[in-house]
Amino acid sequence: MSEHNDTIDALSNESRTFAPPATFAAAAHINDGALHAEAEADLEAFWARQARELITWQQPWGSVLEWDLPYARWFVGGKLNVAENCLDRHVAAGFGSKVAIHWEGEPGDTRTITYADLLDEVQRFANVLRSLGVAKGDRVNIYLPMIPEAAVAMLACARIGAAHSVVFGGFSAQSLIDRINDAEAKVLITADGGYRRGEVFPLKPAADEALAHTPTIDHVVVVRRGGNDVAMTKGRDHWYHELMAEADPVCAPEAMDAEDLLFLLYTSGTTGKPKGIMHTTGGYLTHVAYTHRNVFDLHRDRDVYWCTADVGWITGHSYIVYGPLANGATQVMYEGVPNYPGNDRFWEIVAKYGVTIFYTAPTAIRTFMKWGADEPAKHDLSSLRLLGTVGEPINPEAWMWYHHNIGGGRCPIVDTWWQTETGGIMISPLPGLTVTKPGSATFALPGVNIEVVDDNAQPVEHGGGYLTLTRPWPGMLRGIWGDPERFVDTYWSRFQGRYFAGDGARLDDDGYLWLLGRVDDVMNVSGHRISTTEVESALVSHPAVAEAAVVGANDATTGQAIFAYVTLRGGQDVDVATLRDHVATEIGAIAKPKAIFFTPDLPKTRSGKIMRRLLRDVAEGRNLGDTTTLADASVVDELQRRAAETPSED
């Protein structure tokens, strides 16, 4: 864990504390220790109560939990439908005219979608999917911008019992191919294009490129958003609006088993191939509804909630679509970037809709810091009462800036730790109860059991170690699609009988948890997980490249930045810009290395293993320690010289 020493030192100096404001605490769902006590007394009974109170079941479950390590089954025998929980029951309870989504397009166009509207659209689209041959148990791929149809498509799949696999719109055609083929999806839902930084970015052309290599896709549904010209293949491609105009308005929700697959979401691991994380129905919905209600202290009669994530990531799944809608929340959904047309767009939106709960990523906060406090100061942000962060550790300065300049010094901040694999939030303050420290995610939520352990799996009471989960939880992943062995290897083999998250963590003297970032070869760039191997494979797939090593180096804005060291094949030449574009084509623009260094050799141990720690030291401009295990120490001198000379690109 030596690479984390700097972070540990920086964080251990933090001594400020922030108690929940008395008025906030008084009105909060959770403001005493009863929930913790309940969960500690009987974990299964605790989760059963959440499932009963927050979720509507078509048929009750038999047993709460069957735990056959590493496989958990929650609410066994229970039947429910996720779309029914997110829509029908709210409409039936008289909330049909309540706004579900205040949608704001980047150019400034808006849509106001009530729960009744959303239910209508989801039923129609569910019938559309059926008419295209999608049946219970099938997989559907979704490749859309941040438009309401993304939520509609996900909920329509849930309604008929098909699993969705959403691919972030910023991913390349190649990434889409890999994900469609791994899931053997039957239908792809995409758009002509979407708006980003004032321009239309085309999606359908990338989808077309992918579709030449995806034999399982029978039909493509195209939402018109960008207005850009697209080619439509007769018989295969259909316009969303045309199909919807013809669709039957009523579609009864399928009775799904609690353990039926709800969705796959692909995420980077330590090898090049993304993992299809499997989430099921009853436990997942219980977990996201419980955490969304209590971590964000959602009061659905008065809150306007806004999560700035993209639906293509797990945060968008759990805290834009499933958690908020299950809880009947009113939320804002925004299509574009935070700096169009000006650097104050987010704050304009907060003021316009009277947002009360705002959830974003530390990398965004650091960017706002760069743009200056004048930007939020232009707008009335007094509606805000709670702020949240997710995706990476938040440094105390960014926390304090957020607290003062966005929260006006009055809003609790919930720093939420979780993963694609955990399905929902695991570690976070409860805003009406927990005394926070800037930079600490504080404690495990009631119902979540965490232990920081050392290399020998011994619990650590003070200081650093590895973050593990000791008991199953309802939202946990149920496996990796098509690869049970990798599921066991990745999460369950490092520490016997425990889930290993891949993160380092430290416990301070008061028992607060400080997350320290990944301890494996996964980088965290702007809150997005990208594996070093994935970028290395992309680089090596270029004909001029012989070998590549990639590391994540600390970066003041994006958390980590991708640094690549590349050795070219004899007689070949290629420039940095071409290689960066090549990575964007292979994976997506988010995986473009910030800097690429050409080197005649990579530093390797005598057994041939690339010494990443050393490359990270070079990238972060640190003095190198012991290099005696290196096969050829002169390589490193050369790299350091080049690093000092080469400007990195943005």
Residues at the interface with ligand WTA (CB under 6 A): 267, 313-315, 390-393, 415-420, 441, 501-503, 515, 517-518, 524, 529
Query: Of 11 and 314, which has the nearer Cβ to ligand WTA?
Result: 314
DSSP one-letter code for 41:
H
| CB burial of residue 11 (10 Å; 0-12, 13-18, 19+) | buried
Q: Cβ of residue 442: shortest distance to ligand WTA, in angstroms?
A: 10
Q: Are strands 413-416 and 450-453 parallel, antiparallel or unpaired?
A: unpaired
For residues 65 and 73, the answer to whether their CB atoms sit within 8 Å is yes
Q: Which residue in this structure is represented by tokens 């308005």?
A: 249
Q: Which is nearer to ligand WTA, 332 or 525 (CB)?
A: 525
Residue closer to ligand WTA by CB (options 123, 420) is: 420
For ligand WTA, the closer of residues 524 and 537 by Cβ is 524
CB 501 within 8 A of CB 455: no
CB of 516 to ligand WTA, least distance (A): 8
Q: Rounded to the nearest whole angstrom, what is the least distance from the CB of residue 267 to ligand WTA in the complex? A: 5
Q: Where are the beta strands (DSSP E) in 5-125?
A: 63-68, 71-76, 79-80, 99-104, 110-114
Given the complex with ligand WTA, which of 127 and 416 has the nearer CB atom? 416
Distance CA 300, CA 278 (A): 29
To ligand WTA, the closest distance from the beta carbon of 520 in angstroms equals 9
Measured between alpha carbons, how far is 49 from 29 in angstroms, rounded to an integer? Answer: 15
Strand 522-525 relative to strand 528-531, pairing: antiparallel
Say which residues have a Cβ less than 8 Å from residue 225's Cβ, sequence separation at least 6. 145, 147, 149, 191, 192, 193, 194, 195
Nearer CB in complex with ligand WTA: 99/441: 441
Cβ closest to ligand WTA, residue 125 vs residue 266? 266
Name the minimum Å distance from CB 185 to ligand WTA. Answer: 21
Kindly provide the b/e burial profile for residues 348-376, where b requires at least 16 CB atoms within 10 angstroms of the residue's own CB. Answer: bbbbebbbbbbbbbbbbbbbbbeeeeebb
For the CB of residue 467, give the shortest distance to ligand WTA in the complex, in Å: 8
Please state whether 310 falls in left (phi above 0), alpha (psi between -120 and 50) or beta: beta
Which is closer to ligand WTA, CB of 203 or CB of 390? 390
Q: Are 407 and 20 in contact (CB under 8 A)?
A: no
Q: Residue-wise over 101-125: b if at least 16 C-beta within 10 A, else e?
A: bbbbbbeeeeeebbbbbbbbbbbbb
CB of 487: closest distance to ligand WTA in angstroms? 15
Integer Cα distance of 605 and 627 in angstroms:
9
Q: Which is nearer to ligand WTA, 431 or 517 (CB)?
A: 517
CA distances from 123 to 87, 218, 244 (A): 10, 21, 10
Nearer to ligand WTA, 195 or 319 (CB): 319
In this complex, which beta carbon is closest to ligand WTA, that of residue 123 or of residue 416?
A: 416
Nearer to ligand WTA, 441 or 615 (CB): 441
Least distance to ligand WTA, CB of residue 198, Å: 27
Tell which residue, 221, 215, 211, has the closest CA to residue 131: 221
User: Residue 201 to residues 108, 206, 229, 401, 415: CA-CA distances in angstroms?
Assistant: 16, 10, 12, 33, 32
Q: What tokens does 402 get?
A: 């957020």
The SS3 of residue 215 is coil
Nearer to ligand WTA, 333 or 501 (CB): 501
Smallest distance, Å, CB 560 to ligand WTA? Answer: 10
Q: Is residue 344 a contact partner of residue 335, using CB atoms and an 8 Å limit?
A: no
DSSP-derived 3-state class of residue 638: helix
The torsion angles phi and psi of 532, rounded to 5 degrees, stand at -60, -40
CB of 289 to ligand WTA, least distance (A): 17
- Minimum distance from residue 641 beta carbon to ligand WTA (Å): 33
Minimum separation from the CB atom of position 494 to ligand WTA (A): 14
Looking at beta carbons only, is 90 or 275 nearer to ligand WTA? 275
Pairing of strands 275-280, 479-480: antiparallel
Q: Encode 315-366 in three state secondary structure.
A: HHHHHHHHHHHHCCCEEEEECCCCCCCCCCHHHHHHHHHCCCEEEECHHHHH
User: Burial, 41: exposed, middle or buried (Cβ in 10 Å; 0-12, 13-18, 19+)?
Assistant: exposed
Tokens representing residue 540 in the block: 């090596």
Distance between CA atoms of residues 582 and 566, nearest Å: 13
Q: From the CB of 436, what's the least distance to ligand WTA, in Å?
A: 12
Residue 563 CB, nearest distance to ligand WTA (Å)?
A: 19
